[in-house]
Amino acid sequence: MIDPVSFALPEARNGLYESFYFRGTSTDGRHAFWLKHNLLRKNGQSTVVVENAFVIFDRTTGEAEVVYDKEELSKAAAASFFRSGSWEQASANFSTGSFFSISREGLRGKLHTSRGTAQWDLVLNRSDEVLYQFASDRLYRLPWPKKKIITRDCFLRFSGRISCAGITVEGDFLGMNGHNWGTEHAHEYAYADCNLFAEDAGAYFDGFSAKIALARGLVTSPYLSMCSLKTGGRWHHFNAISASWKQQVEALDDYRWIVDFANATHRLEVHINGQNPRIEPWVALHYDHPGGARAVVKNTKFARGTLRLFDKKDDRLLQELNSEFFELETLLPGNIPSGKGYAGIA
Task: Tell me: pLDDT of 216 over 80.
Answer: no
Q: Is 311 left (phi over 0), alpha (psi -120 to 50) or beta?
A: beta
Rounded to whole angstroms, how far apart are CA atoms 177 and 161? 18
Is residue 126 packed enough to be buried (19+ CB in 10 Å), middle (13-18) or exposed (0-12)? middle
Task: Tell me: pLDDT of 124 over 90.
Answer: yes
Alpha carbon separation from 173 to 63, 169, 249 (Å, rounded): 19, 10, 32
Binning the chain into helix, strand and coil, the percentages to the nearest 5 are 5, 60, 35
In the prediction, which pLDDT does 144 show?
A: 87
Tell me the three state secondary structure of residue 10.
helix
Q: What is the pLDDT of residues 308-319, one digit of tens each?
A: 999 999 999 999
Confidence grade of residue 209 (pLDDT, cut at 50, 70, 90): very high
In the prediction, which pLDDT does 115 show?
A: 79
Rounded to whole angstroms, how far apart are CA atoms 176 and 307? 19
Of 107-111, 212-216, 296-300, the one with minimum mean pLDDT is 212-216
Task: Tell me: pLDDT of 218 over 80.
Answer: no
**Mean per-residue pLDDT for 138-154?**
94
Q: What is the pLDDT of residues 177-208, one digit of tens each?
A: 999 999 999 999 999 999 999 999 999 999 99
- Choose among 21, 19, 26, 20: nearest CA to 302: 26
Query: CA 271, 276, 280, 283 torsion: positive or negative?
Result: positive
The mean predicted confidence, pLDDT, of the chain is: 96
Q: What is the pLDDT of residues 237-294, one digit of tens each?
A: 999 999 999 999 999 999 999 999 999 999 999 999 998 888 899 999 999 999 999 9
Q: Report domain extents, the chain.
A: 13-331
Task: Tell me: pLDDT of 100 over 80.
Answer: yes
In CATH, the number for domain 13-331 is: 2.40.370.10
**Mean per-residue pLDDT for 143-157?**
95
100 DSSP assignment: E
Task: Tell me: pLDDT of 59 over 80.
Answer: yes
**Mean per-residue pLDDT for 97-126?**
96
Q: Please state whether the peptide bond connecting residue 222 to the residue before it is cis, i.e. omega within 30 degrees of 0.
A: no
Cβ distance 247 to 262 under 8 Å?
A: yes
